[in-house]
Amino acid sequence: MMDMDAIDPAIRDIQTVLFKTLSDLAPEGRQYAILDFPDYSNVGDSAIFLGELALLGAIHDCEPSYVCSMRSHTEQIDTKFPDGPLYLQGGGNFGDLWPAHQDFRENMLRRYPRRKIIQLPQSIHFNTTEALDQCAFAIDKHDDFTLLVRDEESFDLAQRKFNCPVLMCPDSAYALGPLTRTREATHPVLCMLRTDNEGALTHEQHTEITTYGPIQDWVNDTPNMKLKRDRLLEKTAMKAPFSRTMLQPTLGRIYEKWARERMDRGIAQLSAAQFVITDRLHVHILCTLLGIPHIIFDNNYGKISRHINAWPKSRQANVVHDMDEFRSIAQEKLL
């Protein structure tokens, strides 16, 4: 049993804001859809999706009626799912850094201009004014779009550029609540560092950081996920739209299973460490939920510090802004 006194009070405070914000927004009814299921191996996005399931399930008192990924989307939403809000997956891909997700988001706004669409908590980052203007145009043409953002910078940008209600809301993964380690710690220190295009650390900084412990990331699925059979069911639903209604509950369970297996993998990785060094937001969030102390660097556009600064501070987190600050905290905490 978890020691309630050991639970970081920031978790309870953030969950309170998260549940109140979505509860005030959600229309009455037991039908809703979650669009853009994260059909890829990044643990953080799976944690967000599972948090959304917990959050929306509690608010609507039921499972989602319709779930789709970018790849499995069909044009059956209006006919097979005519009522209820469409929730867009939260995370950190609102903008042009991850264009496939942004294209999907704007396509949904154009395709369903009169359906209630709620963008679950996101961080916003655009590199080009052209992409920002295109997004603003799609939002302006929509009748009922609400945008939830995870940080003040995203809020300020959205308020200036977008013609829609904009609300501050913390990351949905916090809806998971306190978590329990799944294995004994075997590493005094584990370095969970990005290998994608959001990383900001140089090769030399990586090298110095990893002198404290082994380096890992969590973007690769393990062979025991056995996706082949599940993919066949998914393809059947995509190729035969008439069967989508019949297969939707199965697809929903498959997507939840994939997300849980991926998050379990991430929790096992983190549980193996007494202390974590990271530049991933959801390593920070899951470490907070697991009660694992950690040092966290920012990503390349400030997403992590922006989110941390917006909400109650975790007592497990040590945020650093440069290598001198890292060395000082590492000397205090790790040596």
Annotate 97-116 with DSSP letters as a single string: SSHHHHHHHHHHHHH-TTS-
Domain annotation covers residue 37: yes
Query: How many structural domains are present in the chain?
Result: 1
Domain annotation covers residue 110: yes
CB 170 within 8 A of CB 151: no
Domain annotation covers residue 25: yes
Predicted local distance difference test score (pLDDT) of residue 196: 79
* List of the chain residues with pLDDT < 50: 1-4
CA pair distance 218, 281, nearest whole angstrom: 12
In sequence order, the β-bridge partners of residue 35 are: 68, 88
**What CATH number does the domain containing 159 carry?**
3.40.50
Domain annotation covers residue 92: yes
CA pair distance 292, 196, nearest whole angstrom: 24
CB 246 within 8 A of CB 80: no
In sequence order, the β-bridge partners of residue 148 are: 167
SS3 198: coil
Domain annotation covers residue 192: no
- Whether pTM exceeds 0.85: yes
Q: How far is CA 221 from CA 45, 65, 218, 262, 265, in A?
A: 13, 27, 8, 7, 9
Domain annotation covers residue 333: no
Listed in sequence order, the residues at least 6 apart from 48 whose beta carbon sits closer than 8 Å to its beta carbon are 38, 89, 90, 91, 120, 171, 172, 173, 282
CA pair distance 140, 117, nearest whole angstrom: 13
As a residue count, the chain comes to: 335
Domain annotation covers residue 168: yes
Which residues form the domain of 30? 4-176
Q: How far is CA 118 from CA 147, 164, 192, 268, in A?
A: 6, 11, 32, 32
The residue assigned the tokens 């090769």 is 203
Domain annotation covers residue 279: no
Predicted local distance difference test score (pLDDT) of residue 2: 46
Q: Name the residue among 183, 186, 189, 216 with its Cα closest to residue 290.
A: 183
